[in-house]
C-alpha cells in the first residue's frame, strides 16, 4: 500500500513564490482535500507533485517511488492519475481516443472502457464525438475518466467543480465518493469548501502559498477561521 | 556619449585614410562592403530594433538600383535626379510592403515579404525595361563637380560620407524616443499600445526606414558597379544579408555594420571557395541563434553582466508621495461602465456588467477564477472590442477606443503577468511611458533634430525624478527581467504612473509579493489616490482588498453579484457562496442560529 | 475547355506535391510551433537523394524515395535537436535558425552534387493517357495517386495508431499529454522526422517534373509554406486544399502571364493573407501575443 509523502515542497514561477514549504501526506485509500481562495497555491501544489513545473522538495515520494527523481511523463506509471484544472481534454480527438490516451502506459490490445462508462454512461453515448464538442460537465467527466484509465491508486483532482451546475457537481461528488469507497486514494483541490468537506476526511487550507491550517474536514466545517482566510477578514 | 566622440573621430580619420593603404581590387571590395553595411543598417532597424521580420530588404536594394539604372539608361535622366527618384521609389515600396505587417507578424510576415522579394526578382528577370536576365549595363558615371567617380578610390569618399550620415541618423533614431518606442513595440506590442504607442504607424515607419536605407544602398551600388542584374538581388543574397545582421547583432546598429563589413570581406577572401563560405556562415548563424542571440555586438554585454553580477547589490528605496494633491471632486464620476457584455465563442464572459467609479476612489474588483475581471479590464483599456454596452470616462464616451487613444485619454494599466519591455532598461521602460507625443511628430527627426534632442533631455529629467520618487533610482540601468519580482511589480506601477493618468487599472498587483511588499504596495496605491488618481484594482489577496479599497465590486460568472463597502460585501450570502460553495456552510459564530434553524 | 482541363490536371499534379510540402510544414508547426524555413531545402535534399539512388544507384524509383525519406528524416531530427533549446522561447530566432539550416543544406548539396543540377527521367515511360479526350501525362497521375496515398496513410497513422494519437495529443496539450505518460520531446522529434520524410517524398516526386538543382528548394519551400498558410496553418486538410489551390493558381498563372507567373502568384498570396490572415480553415490567432 502506497502513501504519498510531501515535505518541504516549494515552487517558483520566474521570481514568484507560488508554493512554499508545504508538507502533508495521503495514505492509501484516504481522501484528502486542499482548499483555499484563488491564487493560494493549490494548483501549483498539484503541478509540483506531478512534475509539471520545476519544483524543489525535501521529500516527495509515493510508496517506494521517489518522485523527486521521476520525470513528469513517468509519474503516471507510479500509479498517480491527474485531472488538471480546466479539464484539459484533448479537444481535437474523439472521446474514445481521449480515454485510450489515459491508458497510454498500458497495452491498448485488451483495454476495457467498462469502468469509466459505468461511472459516466453519457461518455459511452458520446464516444465518437470530438472532446472539444462536449459540454463543460461532460468534459469534466471525460477528464476524470481519462485519469481513471491508467488504473491509478491515487488520483489528484484540480477544481473538478469549476464552472459546473449544482446538479453536475453533485454527480461528480457521488463518483468521487464511490471511487474512494472502492479503495482509490483521492487528493482533491477545490475552492468549493463545501464540496471538499463532503468527500474528504482530512483537509488543508492554503493561503499565500503556504498551509494556513489543517484538520479533519468535520472540524474545519464549523471553523469560522476558514471563512476569514477566504475572505481576508 | 562624450567618450564616444574621440572614438568616432578616430574611426572617421582611419576611414578617410584607408584608401592610401589599399590596391585597386581591395578598394573595390571595401566599396561593396560599405553598400552592404548600409543594407545591414536598414535591416537592423526594421528587424532588430522594430522586430519586424522583413525578408524583402534585398528587394528594396534592388528597387533603388534598378530605378536608378532604368531612369538613367532608358529615360535619359541625369544620375542624381534618377537617384532621388530611386530613393522615393524605395521608400514607396517600403510603405507598400509594410501593409501586410499591419495584419500579420512573425513567420507570416516573413513568408509574405519573402514572397514579395521573389515577385520583384521575377519581374526584373522578365521585364524588357529591366533588361531581363542580362540586366542593365553601361550606367553613366555619376557626375560630381569634375571629380571622376569612375575611380573606385574617389567613389569611396562619396560612399563614406553618405554612410557616415546614414549611420549617424540611424544611431540618432535608435537612441531618440522614436527608437525607444520601436524597441518597446518589438518587446511587447500590447504593452506598448497600452502606453500610447500607435503600433500601425510605428510598423510603417520601420519599413519606410528600411526602404530608405535599401534605396540609398541601391543608388550607391548603381553608381559604383554601373551594372545591375537579377542575381545581385537573389534570395541567397537576402539570406547572406540576414546572416550579416544576425552574426553582427541585430539589435545593435553598430553590430549590423560590423557583421556586414566582416562577412563581405570574408566572402571576398573565400571567393574561390564560396560554397565553403556559405556552409560556414550558415553554420555560424545556427550557432549564433542558439548560443549568442544578440550576436557579436551583444557579447561584451553578456560578459559585462557576468562581471557586474559579482558586484554589490542595488537597494530599493521607499516611495516618496507626490507633494501637491489634486483634490477629487466628490460625486464626480471618473469611470462608468454601462451594461457591458462580452462573448467568446458562445461563452458569455461578461453579462451586462455595470459599475460606476467616482473620482478619487480606490475600487476593488474581486471574484473567483474565470469570473470576467481581466476581461473587464481589457475592455476598459481597449484591448477587446466591446460589442454591447458603453464605457464612459469622466462622462466622455470612449467605447471602442483603441488602446493608444485610451492611453492618451488618461487610462493607464498594469498587467497580471507583468509586461515590462525585457530588453529595455528600467529607465527606458519609464521613458517610453513618459513620451506623450504622437507618432506623427516624427517628421521632426528629419527636419528639426535639435528639437528632438531637447525633448529627449526633458524626458530624461522627468524619468530620473520619477525613478527617485518610486525608490528605483539604483535600478535605472538594470534590465527588468534581471530584477526580483517585487521590484518588477513596482517598476510596472511607476511606468503606468509615468503616463500621468487620471485612471489607473491595476491587475493583481500583489500577486507573488510577500507580506512586507504587499504593505508597501498598499501605501503606494493610497498615495497615488491622494495625488488625484482614481484606482481600480483586481486582486485575489482579500486582506489587501479589505483594507485598501473604498468600495468593492464582486463578479461571478460574468455578472456583478455585489457592490459596496468591503465589510458589507463580505457579508453578502451570494459572495460567500461564490467563494466557499455555500453561504450558510461556514458560518461565523454570530449566525450559528441560522444553521441550527435548518 | 480542352486547354482549361489540361491546365487544371497539370495544376493538380503540382498541387499534390505542394500539398505534401505544406503537410510537412503543418505537422512540424502543429507539434512544436516551429516554422521550418529549411523545409524547402529538405525537399531539395530529398529530390537529390531519390534521383541519385535511382539513376546512379540503379535502385527502383520507389525504393530510392524510401531511402530519401530515411535520409531526410535524420536531417529533420538533427535540426530539431539543435534548435530545441529555443523552443517556446523566441519564435523569430527559431525562424532565423532554420534559415541558417537551409543555407547549410544548400551548401552541402552543392558540395555533394555540384552546383549545376540535373534532369531526372520520368520513371514511368508510358505515353500520355487519354481520358475523355484530354491528354494527361501519366506521371502526373502517378504523382497524384502517390500523394493521395501518402495523405491517407498519414491520416490513418495519426487517427488509428497509438503513436499517432499520442503525437496529436502532445501537440494539442503538452502538459496533459505528459500527465498521461507521453514523452512530449520524443513525440515532437518524431513529428519533425515525419515532416522531413514528407518533404523527401515531395522532392522525390517532383524531381522528374522539374530540374533538380541546389536552389530548387527556395521557391518550392515558399510555395509549400504559403499553401500551408492559405489552408490555415497547422491544419492537415487545409494544407491539402492550400497545396491544390496553389498548384492550380500556379499553372493557370503560368499559362496566362507566362514569365510573370511567380509575381502574380505571390502578389495574390500577399493580398489573400491580408484579407484573411488565418487562412481557409484557420482559427488560431496570428499574433502570438
Grid cell in block for residue B160: 563614406
Contact C171, C30 (CB under 8 A): yes
Please state the pTM of the whole predicted model.
0.86
Q: What is the pLDDT of residue A117?
A: 95
Percent of chain A at pLDDT exceeding 70 = 97
C-alpha cell at B451: 528639437
pLDDT value at position B557? 83
Q: What CA–CA distance (Å, rounded) separates C10 from C247? A: 8
Mean pLDDT lowest for which of B297-301, B359-363, B517-521?
B297-301
Q: Which distant-in-sequence residues (6+ apart) come within 8 Å of A30 by Cβ?
A: A185, A186, A201, A202
Pairwise CB contact (< 8 Å): A231 & B586: no
Locate B472 and state its grid cell.
Answer: 528605483
- Range with lowest mean pLDDT among A134-138, A149-153, B26-30, C282-286: C282-286
Between CA C165 and CA C142 the distance in angstroms is: 29
- Cα B549 to Cα B521: distance, rounded to the nearest angstrom: 13
Contact of C25 with C178, CB cutoff 8 Å: no
Q: Which of B586, B594, B596 to mutate to test binding with chain A, by most A CBs within 10 Å of its CB?
A: B586
First-residue to last-residue Cα distance in chain B: 78
Per-residue pLDDT at B102: 87
Query: What cell numbers appear for A163 in the block?
Result: 464552472
Neighbours of B152 (CB within 10 A): 20
pLDDT of residue C118: 84
Establish if C96 touches chain B: CB-CB under 8 angstroms: yes
Closest by Cβ to A73, choosing from C168, C173, C181 = C181
Most confident of A8-12, A101-105, B8-12, B246-250: A101-105
CA B528 to CA A117: how far, in whole Å? Answer: 58
The confidence score (pLDDT) of residue C282 equals 58
User: Three-state SS for B513?
Assistant: coil
Phi, psi at B150, each rounded to 5°: -75, -10
Q: Which residues of A touch B (CB under 8 A)?
A: 13-18, 37-39, 159, 161-163, 191-195, 208, 221-224, 226-227, 230-233
Per-residue confidence band for B518, with pLDDT thresholds at 50, 70 and 90: confident
Smallest Cα–Cα separation from A18: which of B417, B366, B372?
A: B417
Number of other CB atoms surrounding residue B461 within 10 Å: 10
- The whole-number pLDDT of residue B305 equals 67
> If 0-12 CB within 10 Å is exposed, 13-18 middle and 19+ buried, where does residue B260 land?
buried
Q: Is the pLDDT of residue B595 over 70?
A: no
C-alpha cell at B104: 500579420
Answer whether C97 sits within 8 Å of B286, measured CB to CB: yes
Residue in chain A lying closest to C165 (CA) = A97
List Cα–Cα distances, A197 to A218, B39, B50, C14, in angstroms. Answer: 7, 68, 54, 64
* Mean pLDDT, each 10-residue run in order, chain C (289 residues): 80 90 88 82 94 88 92 92 81 86 93 87 75 77 90 90 91 91 91 92 89 85 85 81 89 83 85 78 42
pLDDT digits (tens, 9 = 90+) for B536-563: 999 888 888 888 999 999 988 888 998 9
DSSP one-letter code for B512:
T
Which residue from B minimizes the CA distance to A162?
B369
Please give the full DSSP string across C111-178, using - where no structure is assigned.
HHH-SS-EE---S--PPPEEETTEEE-HHHHHHHHHHHHHHHHHHHHHHHSHHHHHHHHHHH-HHHHH
In total, chain C counts a number of residues equal to 289
Reduced DSSP (H G I as helix, E B as strand, rest coil) percent helix, strand, coil of chain A, to 5: 40, 25, 35
Residue with cell 464511490: A178
Computed on alpha carbons and rounded to an integer, the radius of gyration of chain A in Å comes to 17
What percent helix, strand, coil does chain B show, rounded to 5?
60, 10, 30
Nearest to B44 by CA among B325, B242, B341: B242
Q: How far is C242 from chain B (nearest CA, A)?
A: 15
Q: In 3D, which of B245, B268, B238 has the Cα closest to residue B29?
A: B268
Q: Which residue has the higher pLDDT, C184 or B104?
A: C184
Residue-level pLDDT at B588 = 44
Query: Could you tell me if residue B252 is left (phi over 0), alpha (psi between -120 and 50 degrees) or otherwise beta?
Result: beta
Which chain A residues are Cβ-neighbours of C184 within 8 angstroms? 73
Q: Select from 1.20.120, 3.20.20, 1.10.3470, 1.10.260 the CATH code of C2-275.
A: 1.10.3470
Which residues in chain B are closer than 8 Å to A194, comparing Cβ atoms?
580-582, 585-586
Contacts of B47 (CB under 8 A, 6+ apart): B53, B54, B245, B250
- pLDDT given at position B327: 67
Report the C-alpha gap between B43 and B164 in whole angstroms: 17
Which has the minimum average pLDDT: A130-134, B280-284, B394-398, C92-96?
A: C92-96
The strand pairing partners of A34, in sequence order, are A189, A204
Which of 85-124 (A) contact C at CB < 8 A?
88-93, 97, 100-102, 104-105, 108
> Smallest CA–CA separation between B306 and chain A, in Å?
19
> In this structure, are residues A59 and A218 in contact, taking their beta carbons and an 8 Å threshold?
no
Confidence of residue B3 (pLDDT cuts 50, 70, 90): low
* pLDDT digit string, tens, across residues B223-276: 999 999 999 998 888 989 999 999 998 889 999 999 999 999 988 888 888 888
Per-residue pLDDT, averaged over A126-138, amounts to: 89
**What is the pLDDT at residue B482?**
79
Q: With beta carbons less than 8 A apart as the criterion, state whether B577 and B591 touch.
A: no
Residue A224 contacts C, CB cutoff 8 Å: no
pLDDT at residue number A1: 67
Q: Within chain C, how many helices (H) and strands (E) appear?
A: 11, 4
Q: Which of C169, C180, C179 lies closest to A49, judged by CA?
A: C179
Query: ipTM of the assembly?
Result: 0.90
Is residue C200 helix, strand or coil? helix
- Stretch B526-532: mean pLDDT, rounded? 90
Q: Strands B503-507, B534-538: parallel, antiparallel or unpaired by DSSP?
A: parallel
Q: Average pLDDT of B151-162?
A: 91
**Residue B559 phi/psi, 5° resolution?**
-120, 150
Whether B593 and B580 have beta carbons less than 8 Å apart is answered as no
Query: Which candidate from C103, C104, C266 shows the least CB-CB separation from B119?
Result: C266
Q: Does A50 lie at the interface with C, CB-CB under 8 angstroms?
A: yes
The secondary structure of B144-157 as a DSSP string is -TT--TTSHHHHHH
C210/C46 Cα distance (integer angstroms): 14
Closest CA of chain A from C121, distance in Å: 43
| Cβ distance of B542 and A232 shorter than 8 Å | yes
DSSP string spanning B321-347?
A: --SS-PPP-TT-EEEEEEEEEEEETTE
Residues, chain A, total? Answer: 233
Over residues B372-394, mean pLDDT: 89
- Residue of B105, B276, B289 lying closest to C93 (CB–CB): B289
Q: Between the CA of residue A214 and those of A205, A219, A232, B82, B543, what are the distances in Å?
A: 6, 9, 18, 83, 20
The answer to whether the CB of C133 falls within 8 A of the CB of C5 is: no
Q: What are the domain boundaries of chain C?
A: 2-275
Q: How far apart are CA A101 and CA C174, in angstroms?
A: 13
pLDDT above 90 coverage of chain B, percent? 42
CA distances from C151 to B273, C46, C49, C72, C245 (A): 42, 18, 22, 18, 16
- The alpha-helical segments, DSSP class H, found in chain A are 42-50, 95-102, 114-119, 121-125, 136-148, 166-181, 193-199, 217-221, 224-231
| Residues of chain C found within 8 Å of residue A91, distances taken between Cβ atoms | 172
Contacts of C192 (CB under 8 A, 6+ apart): C28, C31, C32, C76, C77, C79, C80
B197-to-B204, C93, C136, C252 alpha-carbon distances in Å: 13, 25, 57, 44
Cβ-based neighbour number of residue A182 at 10 Å: 9
Closest Cα partner for C26 from C15, C13, C36? C36
Strand B333-344 vs strand B347-358: parallel, antiparallel, or unpaired? antiparallel
Of B51, B108, B278, the CB nearest to C107: B278
CB-CB neighbors (< 8 A) of C218 in chain B: 118, 235
Q: Which whole number is the average pLDDT over B288-293?
A: 87
Amino acid at each position: 500500500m502506497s502513501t504519498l509523502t510531501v515535505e518541504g515542497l516549494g515552487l517558483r514561477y520566474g521570481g514568484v513564490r507560488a508554493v512554499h514549504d508545504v508538507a502533508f501526506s495521503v495514505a492509501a485509500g484516504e481522501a484528502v482535500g486542499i482548499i483555499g481562495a484563488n491564487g493560494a497555491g493549490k494548483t501549483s501544489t498539484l503541478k509540483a507533485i506531478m512534475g509539471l513545473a520545476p519544483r524543489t522538495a525535501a521529500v516527495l515520494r509515493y510508496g517506494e517511488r521517489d518522485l523527486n527523481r521521476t520525470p513528469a511523463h513517468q509519474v503516471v506509471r507510479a500509479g498517480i492519475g491527474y485531472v488538471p484544472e480546466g479539464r484539459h481534454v484533448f479537444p481535437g480527438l474523439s472521446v474514445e481516443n481521449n480515454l485510450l490516451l489515459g491508458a497510454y502506459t498500458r497495452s491498448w490490445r485488451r483495454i476495457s472502457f467498462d469502468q469509466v462508462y459505468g461511472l459516466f454512461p453519457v461518455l459511452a453515448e458520446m464516444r465518437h464525438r470530438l472532446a472539444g464538442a462536449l459540454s463543460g460537465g461532460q468534459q469534466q467527466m471525460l477528464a476524470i475518466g481519462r485519469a481513471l484509465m491508467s488504473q491509478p491508486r491515487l488520483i489528484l483532482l484540480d477544481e473538478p467543480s469549476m464552472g459546473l451546475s449544482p446538479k453536475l457537481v453533485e454527480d461528480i461528488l457521488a463518483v468521487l465518493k464511490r471511487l474512494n469507497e472502492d479503495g482509490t486514494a483521492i487528493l482533491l483541490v477545490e475552492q468549493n469548501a463545501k464540496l471538499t468537506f463532503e468527500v474528504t476526511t482530512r483537509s488543508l487550507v492554503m493561503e499565500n502559498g503556504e498551509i494556513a491550517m489543517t484538520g479533519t474536514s468535520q472540524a474545519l466545517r464549523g471553523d469560522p477561521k476558514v471563512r476569514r482566510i477566504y475572505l481576508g477578514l | 556619449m562624450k567618450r564616444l566622440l574621440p572614438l568616432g573621430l578616430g574611426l572617421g580619420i582611419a576611414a578617410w585614410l584607408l584608401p592610401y593603404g589599399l590596391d585597386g581590387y581591395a578598394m573595390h571590395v571595401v566599396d561593396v562592403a560599405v553598400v552592404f553595411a548600409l543594407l545591414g543598417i536598414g535591416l537592423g532597424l526594421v528587424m532588430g530594433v522594430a522586430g519586424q521580420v522583413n525578408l524583402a530588404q534585398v528587394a528594396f536594394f534592388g528597387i533603388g538600383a534598378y530605378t536608378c539604372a532604368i531612369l538613367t539608361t532608358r529615360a535619359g535622366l541625369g544620375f542624381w535626379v534618377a537617384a532621388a527618384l530611386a530613393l522615393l521609389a524605395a521608400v514607396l515600396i517600403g510603405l507598400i510592403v509594410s501593409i501586410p505587417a499591419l495584419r500579420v507578424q512573425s513567420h507570416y510576415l516573413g513568408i509574405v515579404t519573402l514572397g514579395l522579394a521573389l515577385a520583384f526578382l521575377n519581374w526584373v528577370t522578365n521585364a524588357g525595361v529591366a533588361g531581363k536576365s542580362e540586366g542593365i549595363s553601361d550606367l553613366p558615371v555619376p557626375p560630381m563637380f569634375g571629380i571622376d567617380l569612375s575611380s573606385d578610390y574617389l567613389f569611396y569618399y562619396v560612399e563614406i560620407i553618405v554612410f557616415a550620415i546614414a549611420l549617424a541618423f540611424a544611431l540618432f533614431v535608435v537612441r531618440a524616443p522614436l527608437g525607444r518606442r520601436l524597441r518597446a513595440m518589438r518587446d511587447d506590442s500590447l504593452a506598448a499600445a497600452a502606453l500610447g504607442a500607435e503600433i500601425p504607424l510605428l510598423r510603417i515607419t520601420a519599413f519606410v526606414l528600411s526602404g530608405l536605407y535599401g534605396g540609398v544602398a541601391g543608388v550607391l551600388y548603381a553608381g559604383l558597379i554601373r551594372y545591375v542584374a537579377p542575381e545581385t538581388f537573389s534570395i541567397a543574397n537576402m539570406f547572406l544579408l540576414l546572416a550579416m545582421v544576425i552574426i553582427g547583432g541585430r539589435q545593435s546598429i553598430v553590430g549590423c555594420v560590423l557583421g556586414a563589413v566582416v562577412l563581405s570581406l570574408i566572402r571576398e577572401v573565400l571567393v574561390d571557395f564560396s560554397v565553403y563560405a556559405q556552409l560556414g556562415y550558415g553554420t555560424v548563424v545556427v550557432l549564433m541563434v542558439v548560443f549568442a542571440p544578440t550576436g557579436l555586438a551583444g557579447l561584451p554585454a553578456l560578459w559585462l553582466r557576468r562581471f557586474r553580477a559579482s558586484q554589490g547589490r542595488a537597494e530599493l528605496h521607499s516611495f516618496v508621495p507626490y507633494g501637491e494633491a489634486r483634490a477629487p471632486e466628490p460625486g464626480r464620476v471618473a469611470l462608468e461602465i454601462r451594461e457591458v457584455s462580452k462573448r467568446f465563442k458562445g461563452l458569455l464572459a461578461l453579462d451586462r456588467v455595470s459599475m460606476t467609479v467616482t473620482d478619487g476612489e480606490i475600487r476593488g474588483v474581486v471574484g473567483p477564477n474565470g469570473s470576467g475581471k481581466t476581461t473587464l479590464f481589457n475592455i476598459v483599456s481597449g484591448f477587446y472590442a466591446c460589442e454591447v454596452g458603453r464605457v464612459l470616462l469622466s462622462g466622455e464616451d470612449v467605447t471602442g477606443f483603441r488602446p493608444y487613444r485610451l492611453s492618451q485619454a488618461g487610462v493607464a494599466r498594469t498587467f497580471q503577468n507583468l509586461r515590462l519591455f525585457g530588453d529595455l532598461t528600467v529607465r527606458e521602460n519609464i521613458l517610453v511611458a513618459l513620451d506623450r507625443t504622437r507618432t506623427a511628430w516624427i517628421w521632426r527627426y528629419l527636419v528639426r533634430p535639435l528639437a528632438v534632442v531637447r525633448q529627449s533631455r526633458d524626458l530624461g529629467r522627468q524619468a530620473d525624478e520619477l525613478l527617485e520618487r518610486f525608490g528605483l533610482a539604483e535600478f535605472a540601468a538594470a534590465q527588468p527581467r534581471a530584477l526580483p519580482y517585487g521590484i518588477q511589480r513596482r517598476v510596472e506601477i511607476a511606468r503606468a504612473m509615468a503616463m500621468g493618468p487620471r485612471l489607473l487599472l491595476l491587475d493583481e498587483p500583489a500577486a507573488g509579493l510577500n507580506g512586507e511588499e504587499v504593505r508597501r504596495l498598499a501605501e503606494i496605491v493610497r498615495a497615488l489616490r491622494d495625488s488625484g488618481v482614481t484606482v481600480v484594482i483586481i486582486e485575489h489577496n482579500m486582506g489587501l482588498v479589505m483594507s485598501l479599497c473604498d468600495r468593492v465590486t464582486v463578479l461571478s460568472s460574468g455578472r456583478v453579484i455585489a457592490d459596496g463597502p468591503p465589510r458589507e460585501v463580505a457579508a453578502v450570502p451570494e459572495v460567500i457562496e461564490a467563494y466557499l460553495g455555500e453561504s450558510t456552510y461556514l458560518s461565523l459564530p454570530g449566525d450559528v442560529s441560522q444553521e441550527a434553524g435548518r | 475547355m480542352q486547354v482549361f482541363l489540361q491546365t487544371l490536371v497539370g495544376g493538380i499534379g503540382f498541387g499534390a506535391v505542394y500539398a505534401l510540402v505544406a503537410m510537412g510544414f503543418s505537422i512540424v508547426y502543429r507539434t512544436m510551433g516551429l516554422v521550418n524555413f529549411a523545409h524547402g531545402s529538405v525537399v531539395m535534399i530529398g529530390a537529390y537523394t531519390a534521383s541519385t539512388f535511382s539513376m546512379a544507384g540503379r535502385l527502383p524509383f520507389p525504393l530510392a524515395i524510401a531511402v530519401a525519406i530515411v535520409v531526410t528524416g535524420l536531417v529533420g531530427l538533427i535540426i530539431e535537436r539543435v534548435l530545441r533549446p529555443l523552443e517556446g522561447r523566441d519564435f523569430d530566432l527559431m525562424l532565423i535558425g532554420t534559415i541558417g539550416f537551409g543555407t547549410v543544406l544548400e551548401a552541402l548539396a552543392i558540395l555533394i552534387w555540384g552546383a549545376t543540377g540535373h534532369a531526372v527521367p520520368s520513371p514511368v515511360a508510358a505515353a500520355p493517357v487519354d481520358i475523355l479526350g484530354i491528354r494527361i501525362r501519366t506521371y502526373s497521375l502517378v504523382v497524384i495517386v502517390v500523394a493521395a496515398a501518402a495523405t491517407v496513410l498519414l491520416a490513418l497513422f495519426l487517427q488509428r495508431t497509438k503513436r499517432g494519437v499520442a503525437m496529436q495529443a502532445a501537440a494539442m496539450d503538452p502538459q496533459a499529454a505528459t500527465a498521461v505518460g507521453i514523452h512530449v520531446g520524443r513525440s515532437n522529434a518524431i513529428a519533425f522526422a515525419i515532416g522531413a520524410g514528407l518533404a523527401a517524398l515531395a522532392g522525390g516526386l517532383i524531381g522528374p517534373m522539374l530540374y533538380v538543382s541546389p536552389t530548387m528548394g527556395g521557391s518550392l519551400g515558399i510555395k509549400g509554406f504559403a499553401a500551408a498558410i492559405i489552408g490555415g496553418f497547422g491544419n492537415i486538410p487545409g494544407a491539402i486544399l492550400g497545396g491544390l489551390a496553389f498548384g492550380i493558381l500556379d499553372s493557370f498563372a503560368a499559362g496566362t502571364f507566362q514569365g510573370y507567373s511567380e509575381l502574380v502568384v505571390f502578389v495574390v498570396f500577399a493580398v489573400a493573407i491580408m484579407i484573411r490572415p488565418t487562412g481557409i480553415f484557420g482559427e488560431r490567432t496570428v499574433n502570438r501575443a
